Amino acid sequence: MTYLIRGKVALLIKVVVVALLASVLLLLAQSAFAQREYVIAAFLAISVVLLALTYLSKISIPLKFFIPGILLLTAFVIGPILYTVAMSGFNYKTGNIISKEEAIVQIKVRGIEAAPSGLSFDIKLGTVDGKPAILVSDINTPEYFLSTLEDRTPLVASSLTLNEYGVAVEAPNFTPLNESEFASADKVYTGARFVFDDRFFIALEGFEAGVVSQQVLKFFPESDQFRNLLTGAIYTDNGRGNYSLADDKGAILEPGWRAPIWFENYSNIVTDPRVREPLIRVFIWTVVFALLTVLTTFALGLLLALALNKPIRGRRIYRSILVLPYAMPSVMSILIWGGMFNTEFGAINALLGTDIAWFSDPNFARLAVILVNLWLGFPYFYLISSGSLQAIPSELMEAAAIDGANPRQIFRKITLPLLLQILSPLLIASFAFNFNNFNLIFLLTGGGPRNELDGEIAGATDILISYTYKIAFGAGTQDLGLASAISLIIFILVASISLYSLKKSKVLESFA
């Protein structure tokens, strides 16, 4: 088989694969470029060049193996981290999502208001001397006129062709648009200001209606200000992504835009009690949860591994059964456990003969979270403990036994230290994983219970990542900037704890 894909055939396959891959990446780059995602487009284009250079030249043989990993790592790890770092320095939340240019356009649109008279007319789109015009009918008065971007010409009903509702459809010098011209007309007529009088204009509200309107907010690009033409109020860039009044910072024009606020999201974590206090509570619970999870799952897994390390009847069956919770999709397990903990009809209360409100009481909810995670996690530690026990030379135990050590002493002085040495990296990894165990919390308790009536923001079982998710994507205001700042802190925390633990356990030395 190996010989079959050598020489010209292998080269051909390589060229075809690279060409297909490059096509897909270029297609994605093109799409990203069209959506103004220039960084993504540039990354994809560079990837094509790198792939072609690596696989179609002899620049570096090791790179042929590393380049897919490097590109994927950049795209899915380094990229998001950099993006999160960047976003944590922005006022990026509901109301401050779009760019400043877009915000200005939209404020201008919202700055057009219907005239107090509330007048609106039936209109017909067309042209006069090749220029955009509307044939306006006020069927109530009835009154008719032609309006262009420059002037308004009154018309008499007798000179017009009216439809069954009394709306003018034809007039002298007026050429109505036909169906095929409507598509191109949208861009020309939408936003156009057809003359009504000195103060007001007619704005299109669809192809059939025009509303007498006025521009209330006007933008002055040279001073970067909006002025309310009716009240004279001036709105200036407040440096936080909104135009606001100088004497009332709360009076802002919407929408706002993403604006850099540098370290404000980080300082809010410390200075804003509504952010800081729940965060501290959540952080403490996160550490407790992760520690308890690692301890309980490791303890139970090790206990079972020790029990089944001796030849007993049906050992294989027991081992298979113990691995089952690990084999089952965790999402399904969590949802089933959620049902079992239901207060009214859950199996747990039925078995215990109790009516415990598992997910309403903070302590019971935390207990439920730990128990479910124990169920989900112990098979993993059972498996790795079993494997590790096999790796410990039996001579050590035999020698200790000959020297008079009892089984408990052998376990405490020989087995456990050796096991911990082997399993330390996995215990640390488990801690880091559970520090961010979003699935369990989200699916089992949703972070609750939370006493909303007492103004609690975070739930009793919320861990940092689920709390961050709520800040970023919860109901009401979604504060992506603050969530990014908290995410970054979580990242630094987990990375620091992991590195410290690895250093302490001297595991990395074996890789040196």
Partner 1 sequence: MNRKRFGFSALVAAFALAVSTLVAPSASAATEIVVWADENRGPDLTKVIAAKGDWVPGFTVKVVTFSSFDALKEAFDKATDASGPDIVVGANDWVPTGAKSGKLAPLTLTAAVKARFNPTQFLDLTYKGKLYGVPVDINNVAMIYNTKLVSSAPKTFGEMVAEYKSLKTSKGLKAGLCIAGGGMSWGAHSVFSALGADAYQFNSRGQIVYNRAFNASTFGKNVRTLLMDGNKSNGFFPATDTGCKDNFLAGTVPYAVIGNWEWSDYADKGFAMNLMPVPGVKAGTYGKMFGSVSGALLTTFAAKHGVESAAKSLLTNFFASSDGQVRYQTLAKRPPAEKGAQANTTITAAQRGFGTSASLAGIPQIGAFLNSNKGGANYWDSAPAYWTAVLIDGKDATKEAAKLSQIWRTNTIGGKGDL
The backbone torsions φ and ψ at residue 238, rounded to the nearest 5 degrees and listed phi first, read -90, 5
Q: How far is the CB of 498 from partner 1 (least distance, A)?
A: 32
Q: Which is nearer to partner 1, 258 or 268 (CB)?
A: 258
Q: How far is the CB of 83 from partner 1 (least distance, A)?
A: 15
Six-digit token pair at 500? 């410290």
Q: How far is the CB of 182 from partner 1 (least distance, A)?
A: 3
Cβ count near 129 (within 10 Å): 9
Q: Which is nearer to partner 1, 19 or 299 (CB)?
A: 19
Q: How far is the CB of 414 from partner 1 (least distance, A)?
A: 50
Q: Which is nearer to partner 1, 99 or 159 (CB)?
A: 99
Q: How many angstroms separate the CA atoms of 439 and 457, rounded?
A: 20
Q: How far is the CB of 75 from partner 1 (least distance, A)?
A: 18
Give the distance, in angstroms, between the CA of residue 297 and the centroid of all CA atoms in the same chain: 31
Q: Could you identify the residue written with the tokens 């000959």?
A: 402
Q: How many angstroms separate the CA atoms of 338 and 330, rounded?
A: 12
Q: How far is the CB of 486 from partner 1 (least distance, A)?
A: 19
Q: How many angstroms separate the CA atoms of 128 and 148, rounded?
A: 8
Six-digit token pair at 493? 């925390």
Q: How far is the CB of 48 from partner 1 (least distance, A)?
A: 7
Q: How many angstroms separate the CA atoms of 92 and 472, rounded?
A: 10
Q: How far is the CB of 313 from partner 1 (least distance, A)?
A: 44
What lies within 8 Å, CB to CB, of 159 at 6+ separation is: 171, 172
Q: Which is nearer to partner 1, 87 or 302 (CB)?
A: 87
Q: How many angstroms separate the CA atoms of 99 and 135, rounded?
A: 37
What lies within 8 Å, CB to CB, of 218 at 6+ separation is: 111, 226, 227, 229
Q: Which is nearer to partner 1, 48 or 305 (CB)?
A: 48
Contact status, residue 102 vs residue 110, Cβ threshold 8 Å: no
Give the residue from 321, 233, 247, 290 showing the smallest Cα distance to 435: 290
Six-digit token pair at 42? 């540039």
Q: Which is nearer to partner 1, 258 or 322 (CB)?
A: 258
Q: How far is the CB of 354 from partner 1 (least distance, A)?
A: 14
Quote the DSSP letter at residue 251.
Answer: -
Six-digit token pair at 184? 């191109």
What lies within 8 Å, CB to CB, of 363 at 6+ separation is: 460
Q: Which is nearer to partner 1, 122 or 264 (CB)?
A: 122
Q: How far is the CB of 426 from partner 1 (least distance, A)?
A: 36
Query: Within 13 Å of residue 229, how many CA atoms lie on the same side as its CB?
Result: 13
Q: Which is nearer to partner 1, 293 or 450 (CB)?
A: 450
Q: How many angstroms separate the CA atoms of 285 and 293, rounded?
A: 12
Q: How many angstroms separate the CA atoms of 255 and 110, rounded?
A: 10
Q: How many angstroms separate the CA atoms of 487 and 103, rounded?
A: 28
Q: How many angstroms separate the CA atoms of 125 and 206, rounded?
A: 10
Q: Which is nearer to partner 1, 120 or 421 (CB)?
A: 120
Q: Which is nearer to partner 1, 24 or 321 (CB)?
A: 24
Q: How far is the CB of 209 from partner 1 (least distance, A)?
A: 5
Q: How far is the CB of 287 from partner 1 (least distance, A)?
A: 27
Q: Could you identify the residue written with the tokens 């649109």?
A: 109
Q: How far is the CB of 205 from partner 1 (least distance, A)?
A: 5
Contact status, residue 386 vs residue 415, Cβ threshold 8 Å: no
Secondary structure class of 467 (helix, strand, coil): helix
Q: Which is nearer to partner 1, 41 or 290 (CB)?
A: 41
Q: Which is nearer to partner 1, 120 or 225 (CB)?
A: 120
The backbone torsions φ and ψ at residue 146, rounded to the nearest 5 degrees and listed phi first, read -105, 135
Contact status, residue 364 vs residue 346, Cβ threshold 8 Å: no
Q: Which is nearer to partner 1, 241 or 377 (CB)?
A: 241
